[in-house]
Amino acid sequence: VAHKTLPCGTQVAVRYGSRSLVVPVVDRGPYRRGTSYDLTSATATALRFPGLARIGAVALRDEPRAPAPATGTERRR
């Protein structure tokens, strides 16, 4: 996911419908007004996320667990 202020590597629990994942912050953003998180395409696919919608999300730690790995193509939501 991307978040404006959480440090990269911070673990975030993300929920959409009945599906949930724990994923790291890997980028900065989003830059769309009223949007708190951008999902990577892999996270969006795993959650069966249709596009722009409300999700549940909470940071699990204030400190990153490990450096975020380099990722391939990401789709901004």
Torsions phi, psi for 42 (to 5 deg): -65, -40
| Alpha helix ranges (H) inside 1-77 | 41-47
pTM of the predicted model, to two decimals? 0.72
Report pLDDT for 37: 92
Q: What is the separation of C-alpha 66 from the centre of its chain, rounded to a whole number of angstroms? A: 16
pLDDT, tens digit (0-9, with 9 covering 90-100), for 20-54: 999 999 999 998 888 899 999 999 999 999 888 88
